[in-house]
Amino acid sequence: MNEQPVSLGETTDALDWSQQDWDGFDWKHLVAELNHLLRLRTTPIGMSMFATVEEMEAIPRIRRPKDIHTADQIVGMASRLNFTVGITNDDLVGDQCGAVLGLRPRDDKWLSGRHMAGVWFKTLEDSAIHQAAMHTVPEDRYVAMAVSPLVSGRLTPPDICLIYANPAQMILLINGLQWSGYKNFSWGCVGESSCADSWGRALATREPSVSIPCFAERRYGGVQDDELLMATPPGFLPKAIAGLKALSGNGLRYPIPPYGVQQDARAGLGVSYS
C-alpha cells in the first residue's frame, strides 16, 4: 500500500508532493509545523501494512509484542509512548481488530456479529448490520502492520498518518484541507469499533477520515475524553498545513479565543466573515 500520494494543488513550499522523495523527506519539519499551528499534545504517527512479516520486521528498532493486545493498544503505544511496533493477526485479541486491518477474513462468524449481540446491540440482526457497515482493509493482501511516530522517519512513507486532536483543533485541520480545492467531507459513524471510521476507512478509500474514537479506543488505547482522530494518507498533510497557514494569516488560528456570548458580534464578524 506504499503508493505515491495524491497531488492536491497548493502545497507547503510549492513542492510537488506527488513526486516527493519520501526517503529524504523531513518528517520532523512536517510534525513541527503541525504542532506549531495546532499545539497537538499527542504524537502524530504513521501506520503501514505489509505483505510479509519480514518486511515489517525489517523496520529499524521495531518492537514485537510479547502479549496479546487490541489494535487500539498498538496504536496507543506509538501515539502515547513513541514506540515503533509491528504486529500480525496472532498478536491481536479476538477477530474484530484483525478484520478491520485486513489481517484476517471477514468470514461468516465475523459478519454475523454474534460476539456483540446483547452487549453493544439489542439483536443479532443489529449486530450483523453493524459489521457489514464497517470500512475494512481488503483481505488477503497483508499479513502484518506497523505503527511509528512520524518524526522517526521509519515508515517512508506510511500508508496513513493518524492525528489525535480536540474538536477545535480538528475543525481547523479540516478547514485547512478545504482551503484550496474545496470538498465537502462526509463521514459516517459505526459507533463501537469506530477504528473502522478512521484507519479502516482511510486505508480502504485512500482519503482523509475523521472519527469519534469508541469505548475500546479510550479504554485500551489511551484516547482522551476530548480527542477526535483523523486518519489520512500522508499526501494530504502538506495541503492541510498550507491551508492552516493561510487561515492563520487571516486570524483564524488555534486556540480560538471566545468572543463572549453577550458582546456585539458585528466587529468580530466583520473581520472573520467579511
pTM across the whole model? 0.91
pLDDT of residue 160: 98
Counting as low any pLDDT under 50, the low residues of the chain are: 1-19
Rounded to whole angstroms, how far apart are CA atoms 195 and 274?
A: 39
User: Which residue is listed with cell 468580530?
Assistant: 268
pLDDT of residue 11: 34
> Which segments of 71-110 are extended strands (E)?
85-87
Rounded to whole angstroms, how far apart are CA atoms 151 and 89?
A: 26
What does the DSSP assignment read for 29-40? HHHHHHHHHH--
pLDDT of residue 4: 35
Give the tens place of pLDDT for each residue, 45-59: 999 999 999 999 999
pLDDT of residue 156: 87
pLDDT of residue 24: 66
> Which segments of the chain are extended strands (E)?
45-50, 85-87, 144-149, 160-165, 209-211, 228-232
pLDDT of residue 21: 67
SS3 call for 58: coil
Give the tens place of pLDDT for each residue, 182-208: 999 999 999 999 999 999 999 999 999
Rounded to whole angstroms, how far apart are CA atoms 29 and 226?
A: 26
Q: What are 212's three cell numbers?
A: 469519534
